[in-house]
Structure 1
């Protein structure tokens, strides 16, 4: 777990614990908490740029002019009056109305940024008990946040948005699209210029992820000329979106309106990119109001006896298509039933396919949403498809690609997102980017391997210390023959296993060094440089990057295959370490009792050995995780290379198939990926990960325990109210 992930969880746990000790619901609690994170971020950014501004302020007659709002705007920060700064709120003496002070701080920010934030920031802090509110302020004064940059605080804000969605806050969580789906949409359509529209923008996650994508590519939204436009019908959700943009330092216009009937931004044919997760299966749209809407180039999908559109899904699809420029791209989430719906919806779908703009369809399994368990599909349109692809659609069935986040929620891991994106690259003929990703996996594999020796050393030291202590005790003990024999047997098993472990460890480290010497050149980064000089796989490929694909692919295949035996060695060494820990525990316990009896052994250093035993468990986990990291990136390269061995797109049963318009017509104009990709042949699953399976079982158990605890808390609370 990364440091930022640990910080996210620690802050959520602290804030949620405070909520558990109050009478507030998640809906009441969420906006004020997000407001405090916003304020923490604004204060951090203010303090970060203030010294630079002060150093550059002009002076006249020995007098330096006061700070102004424009000074901070130029630095991408919000100007905060002294009473709106976080440290001021923290320093308020007991007895002073801290809730009113926070409300005054929010009002002062809105007054200074009326165009962007008027009426947006939360002010309902009087709902909190004073002591609870002070504790909340302290929670977000965490050391990890005080020195955090905008990216970190932006992630914390997104994390809290997600967690509130998961516990059902804000209209059952419908304002929030899971990050892995947003990331996949952004990766596929690559919004790197012009107008980016989300006509069902929720909390603005599509815009934020676009900004992350641009940063990864080495630029920013403003430098790339990206303009954000959003529309939402719920005022509370609009507030969330505006706060989300502000906390990430982004500018955009978000209008209130029902997109079924209104185009507030008047962007027909003007959006370069459209991204959305609209509400599914709406059946109360007034057909009379929309039948002449210019955003319906394919006509109405179907009208029922009450003059209502039978299902609003194809209204959304048509709107997204019509917003695009002649070269625009769209990516959006849809109910899985939409791609094969019949009657009037099929007719709209036929016309859409015949337009040549349908680019790709991605099937996603159930449980990706926090409040809905149904499966979904990601649709991708591209009006600028080259002529050779206008008659083709990429069908990608990703229902077997997922990881478990909790017992009830799944997502794509970052590497799974990249692997799916790599298939899109191959479809677009961007082989250099595919090879860049495989090279990056090989580089990460090698980097993780260099950390293995240092990861093993602490566990080895604990084992050696414990073994020497137990061996010494065995040599001097005069315990009964039966007890001594049991201890001697345990020590012998331990010694034998540890000798084998040392030999295998030496062999692995030697083989890893040889591998790096032989194959290290294959893993050297050659992708386009991104922000801060980092390698960016998602930046546009260099013009001369297509040279010698076959040679590069062959070398990468050989490098990955050469690591196969080492991956097996890593797994084997991890199992040996687990066995050693068990043998050490058994022998230690056999020695500890006699050593601590009435005739205590003066040479048995209880304190040191207890610390070593506790440390062994921690260091064993650390070493096992490091061994697993190397094999993890090897598995990612294997997943891609075994499915696309020639670094070219090919049909893969149960995963991907490139279909023609004739194929789609023959299948009743269905755009359901599972209808085309088929079923994988029965075979041994080479990608099976035992450690991952154990992790999933642990998540299942943890989820059940958490639910049991919550039920117990509710029962106890209800019982107390009855009494």
Structure 2
């Protein structure tokens, strides 16, 4: 499986990019009539239409024959879907080949062809506002040329020529190009296959319930599905374990283009297109009341949630009946809201792998929304592990990113503990970068990370990748209680002009200017800590226990910090002296003895 997945990963940089580049070259014909950032408005829907076309071509005659028999019936969808072999169909007599054979009538014929699609395809094209782009192509005299470009042999998107998973990645590559040309956050839509496979394997490896019965029957959900490739890869992984596995995938997306591609992909793969829902997950949850076996997601981070503030705040006020009861994060970053949404939708035996950036580990003081969300996960003993990915793993960012593994059904041996895995040095450098993506988590890398997760032990573990290069992973299993602390407020007395304590009702009045706080580890007695760490330096101080707050943070960097011995001062001095002598010698050589 690892070798096969490595081949698939490498295709992202080869065949898939080449195919996407070929499709994108259609944009050359759009110059003038469309601005560069508008090219995707044509290219993406046309790629979707051509994929549908090539899937349906072998059964076109059968569909037309069936349509002639059932077109007067009120209920005909079932007959036509059966005839096409897919969850969609087209009752038009036209193909791309016959369209280009009649250039004089290209507009009427193409519109007739599109009108022949089933309603679920019509919905996709409507969300992409494709009719408006057809009109613009007609006005610019470009429609015939664009259809001709997609009719070329090189643009063959038939299932025999392009597998479903690969087609999904071609779509993603096209969306990425469109996003870049539009100055959008391109990586908002993408998680590369190597990272998805790692997330899938971590989910399955830790699932003690995966093989309880004769066959696998699982539901999978992605709350920010993009073009749905996480769902596709998760299904692929589970099918590899059990070819007869019953996998049902569900996803929500609020970008109309990526949603259209996700729904198209679902239609082509024979799944239920109603499981793909359009809308903003935070403000317009389409899966209220649903619970899932697996959740896999890469929500946007660093994105404000001001747009959804009204709905999110109302949901928070529902308390335990809502998705956001524990707390609300800073309005500048909504990624932890997606974390809570996922937790709310996990079955009691469910598992979630969700990507977050470093801020989710530590931002927010005790009592803040972020800290309360961490507290919620840890005190319920749902946080199982966090894996730091290598930098430069994503197309649009080089920052540190982390996969959180959350489960409501921890094995007994993992109860009350959290495993931190530093896989930042476990990667293979790419020969050719894709945006900011400079590294891959290949099969050897993934196997080492997953093995370490399963072994559940402390230490530094080394291996070699497929090219013989060293890879390293570090693991530390922590007691969950060590991630928490009591933030205490230390007060000092206010003094009058004579240096005496100011009293009120025989009690010292606190001096707000001298107020201080201390973070006391949750597993340590507060009074003992105070007597040891504070009173020796401030004998008149006291704790205002009404202000004590519990906080949680995950000290990832500190956990794996390794102290490096500093060179002795005399060694450093000798090196500086030698450098100075070398510099003076070069100056004398350059300017002569007078230098």
TM-score normalised over the length of structure 2: 0.64
Alignment partner of 1:315 is 2:334: no
Structure 2: distance between partners of 1:215 and 1:31: 35
- Select 1:280's aligned residue among 296, 301, 313: 301
1:556-577 CA distance string (max 9 Å, x none): x9xx9xxxxxxxxxxxxxxxxx
The structure-2 alpha-carbon separation of the partners of 1:368 and 1:634, relative to structure 1 and needing over 3 Å to count, comes to closer
Question: Structure 2 residue aligned with 1:246, among 267, 272, 288?
Answer: 267
The reply on whether 1:81 has 2:91 as its aligned counterpart is yes
Question: Are the equivalent residues in 2 in contact too, given 1:393–1:658 (CA < 8 A)?
Answer: yes
The structure 2 residue matched to 1:389, chosen from 390, 398, 414, is 414
Q: CA deviation at 1:398?
A: 2.8
Name the CA shift for 1:111/1:55 in 2 (closer, same or farther; >3 Å): closer
| Aligned residues of 2:362 and 2:554 also touching (Cα < 8 A) | yes
Q: CA-to-partner distance for each residue in 1:364-399, whole Å, 9 max, x for gaps?
A: 344444344543222111112211112222212233
**Matching residue of 1:224:** 245
1:332 to 326, 335, 354: 354
Which of 200, 215, 223 is the aligned partner of 1:199?
223
Aligned pairs (5 A) from 1:141-156: 141-143=152-154, 145=156, 148-149=159-160, 151-152=162-163, 154-156=165-167
Where do residues 257-406 of structure 1 align in structure 2 (5 Å cutoff)? 257-267=279-289, 270-281=291-302, 282-284=304-306, 285-286=309-310, 288-293=313-318, 294-296=321-323, 299-301=326-328, 309=331, 311-343=333-365, 344=368, 345-402=370-427, 403-404=429-430, 405-406=432-433
* Distance in structure 2 (CA, Å) of the matches to 1:426 and 1:257: 38
The answer to whether the aligner puts 1:96 opposite 2:105 as a matched pair is yes
Say which structure is richer in helix.
Answer: 1
Query: Residue deviations 1:454-476, cap 9 Å, x none?
Result: xxxxxxxxxxxxxxxxxxxxxxx
Q: CA deviation at 1:139?
A: 4.7
Once residues 155 and 329 of structure 2 are traced to their aligned partners in structure 1, the CA distance between those partners, rounded to angstroms, is: 54
Q: Which residue of 2 aligns with 1:677?
A: 560
Structure 1 residue 422: deviation in Å? 4.2
Q: Deviations over 1:470-507 (max 9, x none)?
A: xxxxxxxxxxxxxxxxxxxxxxxxxxxxxxxxxxxxxx
State the distance in 1 between where 2:556 and 2:114 align.
Answer: 49
CA distance in structure 1 between the aligned counterparts of 2:103 and 2:124, rounded to whole angstroms: 34
Tell me if structure 1 keeps the 8 A contact 2:219–2:249: yes
Deviations 1:77-109 (A, max 9, x none): 6433343533333x4333332x55334323321
Measured after TM superposition, the shift of residue 115 of structure 1 is: 7.7
Quote how far apart the aligned CAs of 1:76 are.
Answer: 3.6
Q: What is the number of equivalent residue pairs in this alignment?
A: 452
Distance 1:224 1:55, change over 3 A: farther
Determine the structure 2 residue equivalent to 1:32: 42
Change in 2 beyond 3 A, CA 1:148/1:201: closer
Q: Contact between 1:14 and 1:139, CA under 8 Å: does it hold in 2?
A: no
Q: Which residue of 652, 656, 674 corresponds with 2:475?
A: 656
Secondary structure class of the residue paired with 2:419? strand
User: What is the match of residue 512 of structure 2?
Assistant: none
Deviation, structure 1 residue 168: 1.5
Contact 2:64–2:91 under 8 Å retained in 1: no
Shift, 1:7, TM fit: 4.2
Say if 2:114 is the partner of 1:106: yes
Alignment of 1:707-722 (within 5 A): none
Alignment partner of 1:183 is 2:186:
no
Quick one: distance in 2 between partners of 1:52 and 1:656?
58
**1:173, 1:401 → 2: CA distance?**
25
CA contact (8 A) 2:353 2:403 kept: yes
Which segment is superposed worse, 230-239 or 273-282? 230-239
Query: Counterpart of 1:326 in 2: which secondary structure?
Result: strand
Q: Does structure 2 retain, via aligned residues, the 8 Å contact 1:193–1:225?
A: yes
Equivalent-residue separation in structure 2 for 1:187 and 1:169 (angstroms): 34
CA distance in 2, matches of 1:156, 1:380: 29
Partner of 1:361, secondary structure, is: strand
Q: Do the aligned partners of residues 428 and 227 (structure 1) sit closer, same or farther apart at CA in structure 2, a change above 3 Å counting?
A: same
Give the structure with the higher percent strand. 2
- What is the match of residue 590 of structure 1? none
Q: 3-state SS of the aligned residue for 2:189?
A: coil
Spell out the pairing of 1:13-52 with structure 2 (5 A cutoff): 13-20=21-28, 22-23=31-32, 24-25=34-35, 27-48=37-58
Tell me if the contact between 1:200 and 1:278 (Cα under 8 Å) persists in the aligned partners.
yes
Instruction: Sort the Cα spacing of 1:162 and 1:341 in 2 relative to 1 into closer, same or farther, 3 A.
Output: same
Paired residues of 2:165 and 2:229 also in contact (CA < 8 A): no
Please report how far the alpha carbon of residue 356 of structure 1 lies from its aligned counterpart in structure 2 after TM superposition: 1.5
- Are 2:26 and 2:43, in contact at CA under 8 Å, matched by a contact in 1? no
Q: Contact between 2:317 and 2:325, CA under 8 Å: does it hold in 1?
A: no
Query: Following the alignment from structure 2 to structure 1, what is the Cα–Cα distance between the partners of residues 450 and 276?
Result: 31
Please, what TM-score do these two structures have when normalized by structure 1? 0.54
Change (3 A) 1:88 1:210: farther
Q: Are 2:180 and 1:168 aligned?
A: yes
SS across alignment from 1:134: helix
1:419 to 445, 455, 464: 445
CA distance in 2, matches of 1:69, 1:29: 34
Separation of aligned partners in 1, 2:296 and 2:475: 23
